[in-house]
């Protein structure tokens, strides 16, 4: 809104002066209102301007956006929808390595070898009269005999599925799990932390007790316990990670709220009659958002890794889906045979995304921190 100048600039405030109309202040050019007022840039716009100035952050933002585009494409089926297709020979190496030499795949048991039995058994074979008929019917059946390729850009797994497609499809699941679980954990941690920090007392004691219970149990054990109860599936993984991962964020948000609830601007809000909810979420929350943001980005990174561990242990995503975790789990057996490309691809995808995401969150933190503002 560019604020059309209002005639009321110079008008006495409605009911503001019980002692008669307000006298105009000589320090103020009351008549100078007609020029449209210039609006200051908002917090988010300032943050964006600062963010744009940070080259590392911008680069990582581009990388993250590229990943997100990839995920959307994968989710809508534009790419990698056929990741289950076995289009190469098992464990086909990446193209740049060239086809495997000296291994005549596919000719292990030729049909000619069995078609000519050494002894003619047609006399005693009760099915012998029907062989010709069956052969005829088999010939009528259309079988698409696909020629399996020898190499793929990033190789194939033991079933001959394209590793690149798998990695793209895996990105969809892994990042989805990481971000959704982090969001959920952030909401839980922020709300509980805000309550504990703002109100303290009995509420705080109870939430601290809850926190202690959750942190007293070793993380991985807690994850196992939840996994055992909730069964298998992507939604379960999200839930498990969120329910176990909120504790660190809770602690930090609680500390921030304790610090801020004593600040004068919050007291001033209380003095004008702002409700507790408004003070917690309208006043304090935006001022601690940078802390939450950083913590959330760490959670995303941590949860992506946790999902990998869960899938590796067989508690993660179901067998008919693929994630970076399942790829790494498969890679275990392949490595012994020297088929390293699945491991390398999954690792590279994960490393690039996780690094870019962390750097981007770092940039956001710097751009949003109210303490750094005005220091430019």
Partner 1 sequence: MTALLSIQALQVAFRLGERGAKTVVPAVKGVSFDIPENTTLALVGESGSGKSVTAMSILNLLPDNAQRSGRILWQGRDLLTASRPELQALRGREIACVFQDPMSSLNPVFSIGAQLCEPLIKHLGMGRKAALARAEELLAETGLPEPKRRLAAYPHELSGGQQQRVMIAMALACEPKLLIADEPTTALDVTIQRQILELIARMKDKLRMSVLFISHDLGVVGEISDRVVVMRHGTVREQGDVAQIFSAPQDAYTRALLACRPSLTDTPARLTVIDEHITGGTTAGSAAPAAAKDPNAPVVLAVKSLAKSFFIKQGLFGKREFKAVQGVNFQLRRGHTLGVVGESGSGKTTMGLTLLRLHEPTGGEVIFDGQNLLTLNDRDRQLMRRRIQIVFQNPYASLNPRFTIGQTLIEPMAIHGIGADTAEREDRARALLAKVGLLPETFFKYPHEFSGGQRQRVAIARCLTLNPEVLVLDEAVSALDVSVQAQVLNLLRDLQDELGLAYVFISHDLAVVRFISDEVLVMKDGQVVEQASAAQILAAPQQDYTRRLLGAVPRGWQAPPDALAPP
Q: Interface residues with partner 1 (CB under 8 A)?
A: 3, 6, 8-19, 22-25, 27-30, 33, 37-40, 42-43, 53, 263-265, 267-275, 278, 283, 286-287, 370, 373-374, 376
User: What are the tokens at 268?
Assistant: 């001033």
CA 318 to chain centre: 18
Question: Closest distance between partner 1 and the C-beta of residue 30, in Å?
Answer: 7
Of the pair 14, 104, the CB lying nearest partner 1 is at: 14
Task: Note the helical H segments in 94-246.
Answer: 111-115, 128-140, 163-199, 201-216, 219-230, 234-245
Helices 43-52 and 55-76: angle between axes, nearest 10 degrees: 100
How far apart CA 145 and CA 137 sit, in angstroms, is 17
Phi first, then psi: give them for residue 320, nearest 5 degrees: -85, 5
Question: Closest distance between partner 1 and the C-beta of residue 304, in Å?
Answer: 31
- From the number of C-beta atoms within 10 Å of its C-beta (0-12, 13-18, 19+), residue 106 rates as exposed
Of the pair 119, 272, the CB lying nearest partner 1 is at: 272
Of the pair 4, 111, the CB lying nearest partner 1 is at: 4
Question: Closest distance between partner 1 and the C-beta of residue 33, in Å?
Answer: 6
User: Is residue 307 within 8 Å of residue 182, measured between CB atoms?
Assistant: no
C-alpha closest to that of 353 among 113, 172, 131: 172
Of the pair 161, 279, the CB lying nearest partner 1 is at: 279
Of the pair 29, 98, the CB lying nearest partner 1 is at: 29
Report the largest interatomic distance among the alpha carbons of the chain, rounded to a whole angstrom: 125
Q: What is the DSSP string of 231-248?
A: -SSHHHHHHHHHHHH-HH
Of the pair 30, 335, the CB lying nearest partner 1 is at: 30
Of the pair 43, 58, the CB lying nearest partner 1 is at: 43
Of the pair 27, 202, the CB lying nearest partner 1 is at: 27
Of the pair 289, 323, the CB lying nearest partner 1 is at: 289
Question: Closest distance between partner 1 and the C-beta of residue 9, in Å?
Answer: 6
Token pair 């601007």 is at which residue? Answer: 265
Question: Closest distance between partner 1 and the C-beta of residue 363, in Å?
Answer: 13
User: What are the tokens at 317?
Assistant: 């995503």
User: Is residue 249 within 8 Å of residue 189, measured between CB atoms?
Assistant: yes
How far apart CA 241 and CA 247 sit, in angstroms, is 11
Task: Note the helical H segments in 313-340.
Answer: 324-336
Question: Closest distance between partner 1 and the C-beta of residue 186, in Å?
Answer: 19
Question: Closest distance between partner 1 and the C-beta of residue 275, in Å?
Answer: 8
What CA dihedral angle connects 163, 168, 172 and 178, to 10 degrees? 70
Question: Closest distance between partner 1 and the C-beta of residue 69, in Å?
Answer: 29
Q: What three-state secondary structure class fits 122?
A: coil
How far apart CA 356 and CA 4 sit, in angstroms, is 43
Question: Closest distance between partner 1 and the C-beta of residue 297, in Å?
Answer: 20
- From the number of C-beta atoms within 10 Å of its C-beta (0-12, 13-18, 19+), residue 80 rates as buried
Question: Closest distance between partner 1 and the C-beta of residue 255, in Å?
Answer: 18
Of the pair 236, 289, the CB lying nearest partner 1 is at: 289
């Amino acid at each position: 809104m560019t604020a059309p100048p209002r005639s009321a600039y110079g008008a006495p405030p409605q009911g503001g002066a019980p002692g008669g109309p307000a006298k105009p202040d000589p320090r103020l050019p009351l008549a100078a209102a007609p020029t449209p007022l210039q609006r200051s840039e908002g917090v988010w716009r300032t943050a964006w301007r600062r963010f744009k100035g940070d080259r590392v952050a911008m680069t990582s933002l581009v990388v993250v956006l590229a990943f997100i585009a990839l995920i959307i494409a994968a989710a809508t089926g534009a790419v990698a929808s056929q990741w289950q297709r076995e289009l190469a020979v098992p464990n086909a190496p990446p193209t740049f390595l060239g086809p495997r030499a000296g291994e005549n795949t596919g000719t292990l048991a030729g049909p000619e070898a069995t078609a000519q039995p050494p002894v003619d058994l047609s006399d005693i074979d009760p099915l012998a009269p029907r062989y010709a008929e069956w052969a005829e019917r088999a010939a009528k059946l259309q079988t698409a005999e696909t020629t399996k390729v020898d190499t793929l850009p990033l190789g194939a797994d033991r079933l001959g599925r394209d590793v690149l497609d798998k990695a793209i499809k895996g990105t969809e699941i892994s990042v989805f799990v990481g971000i959704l679980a982090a969001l959920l954990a952030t909401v839980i941690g922020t709300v509980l932390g805000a309550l504990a920090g703002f109100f303290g007392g009995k509420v705080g004691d109870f939430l601290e007790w809850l926190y202690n219970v959750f942190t007293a149990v070793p993380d991985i054990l807690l994850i196992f316990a939840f996994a055992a109860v909730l069964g298998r599936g992507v939604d379960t993984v999200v839930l498990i990670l969120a329910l176990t991962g909120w504790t660190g964020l809770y602690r930090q948000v609680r500390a921030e709220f304790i610090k801020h609830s004593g600040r004068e601007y919050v007291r001033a809000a209380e003095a004008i009659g702002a409700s507790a909810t408004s003070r917690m979420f309208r006043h304090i929350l935006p001022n601690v958002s940078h802390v939450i943001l950083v913590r959330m980005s760490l959670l995303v990174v941590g949860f992506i890794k946790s999902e990998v561990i869960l899938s590796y242990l067989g508690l993660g995503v179901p067998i008919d889906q693929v994630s970076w975790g399942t790829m790494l789990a498969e890679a275990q057996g392949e490595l012994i045979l020297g088929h390293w490309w699945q491991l390398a691809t999954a690792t590279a995808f994960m490393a690039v995304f996780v690094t870019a995401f962390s750097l981007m969150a770092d940039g956001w933190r710097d751009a949003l921190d109210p303490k750094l503002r005005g220091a430019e």
